[in-house]
Structures are given as C-alpha cells and as structure tokens.
Amino acid sequence: MNPSLVKRTIAVAALLVTSSLIAACDQHSRDPSTETFTVYEDAPKMSLVDLGAPGNSLGDVYHFFAPLHSERGGPVTGEESAQKLW
C-alpha cells in the first residue's frame, strides 16, 4: 500500500477523533482549561475493498482499525475504526 496514503489516512482519522472529542467537551464546559489529552495509537490494520478498476480508483474503500492507549506501551483503553472512500 502506498505509504503516503497510509499517512494521510492516519492523519484524517486522528483529526476526526480529535475534533469529535473537542466538540463533545465544548458542550460540557465553557471555562478555559489547562488540561491535556493524549492518546497513543498502534499502527492501523488496513483493509482495502478494491471496487471498479484494479488499483487506486473511484469506488475503492479502505477500512482500518487501531487499538488506543492512554500511555505509550500501556494496556489498550479503546479502539478506533474508520473508513476512507476513494
């Protein structure tokens, strides 16, 4: 799989998770905070459903899953899964 595509997919997933968390937190508090939230993600396991023309083409779907940790090398505390349509 194309390494730059994997990096872009991971970046988009991280952005989606972060923006969802920010939106959820914003609904509960309007006060400024000095707290930080850090999540560590294992390398995602990618799966391609290749529809249409062989190779990267319109209609392809990438699914991925990755365990999340609250500390580097710590126990799994959650999971992330998403898909990217080509």
Q: Over its length of 86 residues, how does the chain's per-residue pLDDT go in tens digits?
A: 566 677 777 777 777 777 766 766 655 556 666 778 788 989 888 888 888 888 888 888 888 889 999 888 899 999 988 888 77
Phi, psi of 4 (to 5 degrees): -70, -35
For residue 30 the two structure tokens come to: 């309007």
- Per DSSP, what are the bridge partners of residue 37? none
pLDDT of residue 75: 92
Contact 41, 17 (CB under 8 A): no
For residue 58 the two structure tokens come to: 């319109």
Contact 49, 60 (CB under 8 A): yes
For residue 71 the two structure tokens come to: 């500390």
Q: What are the structural domain ranges in the chain?
A: 3-85
